[in-house]
Amino acid sequence: MITEQLLGEGSSVYRSVLPSGIRVISETMPGLESETVGIWVDSGSRDEAPTAAGSTHFLEHMLFKGTPQRSARRIAEEFDRTGGESNAVTAKEYTCYFSRCLVDDVDHITALLWDMVLHSTLDAREFERERGVILEELAMSADDPGEVLYDAFDEFVYAGHPLGRPVGARKEQIRALDHRTLLDHYAHDYVGPRLVFAAAGGAEHSAVVEMVARATADLPELSSAPGAGLRPVRTPPEFHGGVHTVVKDTEQQGIILGMPGLPEADDERFTMTVLYSLLGGGMSSRLFQEIREERGLAYSVHCIASTHADSGQFGIYAGTSPASAQQVIDLCAAELDRLATTVPGRDEVEAIVSQVAGSTVLGLESSAARMNRLARAELYGRPLQTPSELIDRVRAVTPEQVTALAERLAAGPRALVTCGPGAGFELPG
């Protein structure tokens, strides 16, 4: 087993690689009586073959349905007894099973999570029952205009690419998914080299490693299965601009004005954080003040951003009346273009930097936030930095850098996607 200390001498962040290839990364937060732990699978919906669409999310559901040692009911009861919280999430590039519990319960919860992840029975009858549950989940999403808008945006700008598919796939794809496809997915992806265990809280790293090693002792050593579990090559997507409208009987017109953004580990992400907050990150942001406070055209207007290993998106979301939608679209584009052509004042940027620095520190007081940070850094190869280093990077952002990044964003292809009763909207010239 290889263990290294991260973040320099004296830090409490360590990374170990077990013989099975499982990576264990944890941070000790002195004085904390709780722990957040998660098993992260380096596989998401974009890694599915077209015939396996929806299998990643389906598998996430199935892992709560029982193992040879635990029934589905027993799994639920063991999570509930700790008094903490537990859940799972499927994303486009990873899957995560996580729990927050008392430090005294970490060993038990760790064993429970690994039993689910490594020993799921994936019973065929449970598979058919859960198919109905997932179809109901998709139906619920289809009734949510926000979900429809965001899915439509991805599908439009990444047309023909796996990143354009909804994480949960379409109803017809779930109906067509067979049990054997799920079993093959599980056998290929849920193996040592594609698994990361991340933890943050009161537990020491050595204790966390012992728990994981004990819970995964039956896994073969990596050398006995060369090449097993390696991620398939991901093809970067092409971003498609243009206009797309989803007509839906709603009170508001949902709007996303978007363009290519930054990949997860891009070094300009600190500048992006400042730009995001300045343009549409809070009540004092330009978009909020212009569109909501001064004109009363929308209740909600803000920036959005998503990042992937090889690409990203940046955009502006607003919800408004169909009659005001084109005006709001024009105003959003104008604010972005103004930032791209006119360097903001130093006082404005310094105020945003202070806001971002404060939110960074407050956010990292959560063990869940730290656990997520460790895992994402490991999955995306992003260097870890201390909270003080993160704040220094943000404080180093200059007004000129903000405008340069805004200019780069504004110069890319733009996509306008709307959802609501209106139609005929146009991208500002």
Angle between helices 55-62 and 124-142 (to 10 degrees): 120
Tell the residue number behind the tokens 């978009």, with chain if given.
287
Out of 60, 93, 130, 290, the active site residue is: 60
Residues 257/329, Cβ–Cβ less than 8 Å:
yes
DSSP per-residue letters across 390-406: HHHHHHT--HHHHHHHH
263 CB contacts (<8 Å, ≥6 apart)? 307, 308, 309, 310, 311, 312
Q: Is 242 left (phi over 0), alpha (psi -120 to 50) or beta?
A: left
Angle between helices 399-411 and 346-363 (to 10 degrees): 90
What are the two backbone dihedrals, phi and then psi, of residue 17, each rounded to the nearest 5 degrees? -120, 120
Residues 385/315, Cβ–Cβ less than 8 Å:
no
Tokens standing for residue 233:
């090559």
Active site residue 60: yes
What are the two backbone dihedrals, phi and then psi, of residue 277, each rounded to the nearest 5 degrees? -70, -40
Please identify every residue annotated as catalytic: 60
